[in-house]
Amino acid sequence: MNGTCRMAVVLAAVLALTGCGKREQAAKSGDGEGAVTLRFWHILNYSGPREILSRAVSRFEAANPGCRVEIQEFENDAYKTKLAVEIASGSPPDVMFTWGGGPLGEYARAGKVIDLSSVFDKDGWGSRFIDQALDLCRFEGRLYAVPLDLSAVMLWCNADLFAQHGVEFPKTYDDLLRLCKVFRAAGLDPCALGNMKQWPGAFYFCYLANRCGGTELFLDAAHGRNNASFADPAFVRAGELLRGLIEAEAFPVGFNGLDDGPARTRFVSGKAAMLLMGGWVVARVKDEQPAFLERMQAVPFPVVAGGKGDASAVLGGINCGFAVTSSCKHPELAIELLRYLTDDQVVTEWCEGGRIPALVTTPEQEAKLPGPTRQAYAMLKAASSLQPYYDQYLTPRLAVEHKNTTQNMFAGVMTPEQAAAKMAAAAKK
């Protein structure tokens, strides 16, 4: 995440020039030349979140009749590529989806997103957000995005299958290996996994590395501080444990070429006993097969004997955040849109949909969360630390290396030592 240049973007100056800060002015069209159009890009292109965001946009447009929001939805990887290309060419959207972390930091360094710090705490807006979520939206002490959705990766277990086979939820890595034998002998996949897009399998490596070395080791290696390196024995050990799960036949046949959707279907249909996935899976299950929610149990990822990581640490991050690009000609309107995208109605609807808001919730709102999500939320709030997703926190180049090396370990074409050495070398470039 080290950079060589940074163009400072001072929002206060922008606001002074545009007249930002006056809500009544936000409704005016651009300099009397017709309606203003804001381009808004996101990746929440499935039922539930798509409609929630659409309704928030409609409320914004109703309150600002001189402004129209042009929404464009993308798939995850296509979005990353498209955004990078459009930012480089000088034609990005006005409001962009972000996961925070390293990629956001790179855009902040390059002056491609505006600093929201000076407006964030006006009218109590800033006090509505969970501090832990804001940390991934900050860079060098300045805020460049607002989070809406937190994610926490849990080991989701089919409680009925565990009861039927007389086994308990795994507490240790060795427990997990033993369960692989039990469920495989019963003709079931112990763990549903579709790793075609690489990130689902990376969850296993991230958690194993955390349990072996702790969150701080990753952060130090990512920032090149305290002599930490991705060649540390903890990362090698994580790779060895990953290979151990493969040898135990934890995953479906052909999992490296299977998509995450079919893998989720195997879990929901009772063909797999466990699924390591982010909390957003609850919203998917609620939409696809709501009756299964009663069987879903959120379980902490198992500990590793002799590991230095805290057992309560949770792998997670910002699943949905928004930033305003520095090329936006009407930042006052874009910021007003961010307020609508994070307003109380959105938080309520987010809870109803089974997603974890990155904003403070009322007891009434929290009660609307599906049971499995409340379990995950409780673990997230009790966590000693939040282990950021590698592919979100690291710079884009290093994130790609991480996913490639992890998938290569899954495929057996790269040893843990080779993967660790390659990550360490890539981090130095």
User: Is residue 117 domain-resident?
Assistant: yes
Please give the average per-residue pLDDT across 77-104, as a whole number: 92
Question: Residues 198, 265: one domain?
Answer: yes
* Residue 331 in tokens: 């930042």
Question: Residues 178, 122: one domain?
Answer: no
Please give the average per-residue pLDDT across 253-275, as a whole number: 96
Question: Residues 408, 364: one domain?
Answer: no
* Residue 38 in tokens: 């804001």
62-76, 248-262, 374-388, range with the lowest pLDDT: 374-388
* Cα(234)–Cα(254) distance, integer angstroms: 28
Do the Cβ atoms of 93 and 113 come closer than 8 Å? no
User: Is residue 102 domain-resident?
Assistant: yes
Q: Using the 8-state DSSP alphabet, how is residue 383 labeled?
A: -
Question: Residues 393, 407: one domain?
Answer: yes
Instruction: Work out how many domains the chain is built from and give that number.
Output: 2
A 10 A CB-CB count for 383 gives 20
Q: Using the 8-state DSSP alphabet, how is residue 300 labeled?
A: P
- Site of tokens 């790793």: 195
Q: Which of 20-29, 56-65, 131-140, 388-397 has the highest mean pLDDT?
A: 56-65
2-6, 30-34, 181-185, 197-201, range with the lowest pLDDT: 2-6
User: Is residue 6 domain-resident?
Assistant: no
Residue 303 has pLDDT above 90, yes or no: yes
Please give the average per-residue pLDDT across 33-45, as a whole number: 88
Residue 61 has pLDDT above 80, yes or no: yes
Question: Residues 305, 403: one domain?
Answer: yes
What's the whole-number average pLDDT of the chain? 90
Instruction: Assign residue 246 the CATH number of its domain.
Output: 3.40.190.10
Question: Residues 245, 278: one domain?
Answer: yes
- Global pTM value: 0.80
Question: Residues 118, 198: one domain?
Answer: no
CB hemisphere CA count around 87 (13 angstroms): 23
User: Which candidate, 415, 380, 2, 65, places its Cα nearest to that of 239?
Assistant: 415
Range(s) of the domain holding residue 327: 11-150+317-375
Do the Cβ atoms of 302 and 310 come closer than 8 Å? no
Residue 74 has pLDDT above 60, yes or no: yes
Question: Residues 193, 145: one domain?
Answer: no
Question: Residues 120, 252: one domain?
Answer: no
User: Is residue 164 domain-resident?
Assistant: yes
User: Is residue 19 domain-resident?
Assistant: yes
Question: Residues 20, 156: one domain?
Answer: no
Question: Residues 423, 334: one domain?
Answer: no
Residue 34 is predicted with a pLDDT of 56
Do the Cβ atoms of 394 and 206 come closer than 8 Å? no
Per-residue pLDDT of 199-250, as tens digits, reads 999 999 999 999 999 999 999 999 899 999 999 999 999 999 999 999 999 9
User: Is residue 52 domain-resident?
Assistant: yes
User: Is residue 381 domain-resident?
Assistant: no
DSSP letter for each residue of 159-218: HHHHHHTT-PPP-BHHHHHHHHHHHHHTT-EEEE---TTSHHHHHHHHHHHHHHH-HHHH
Question: Residues 291, 395: one domain?
Answer: yes
Torsion of CA 220, 225, 231, 234, to 10 degrees: -40
Q: How far is residue 365 from each of residues 132, 162, 348, 356, 370, measured CA to CA in Å?
A: 19, 31, 6, 11, 11
User: Is residue 4 domain-resident?
Assistant: no
**For residue 194, which phi and psi values (nearest 5 degrees)?**
-120, 105
Do the Cβ atoms of 100 and 322 come closer than 8 Å? no
* Cα(385)–Cα(380) distance, integer angstroms: 9
User: Are β-strands 146-158 and 314-324 bridged in parallel, bridged antiparallel, or unpaired?
Assistant: antiparallel
* Residue 67 in tokens: 């402004």
Residue 76 has pLDDT above 90, yes or no: no
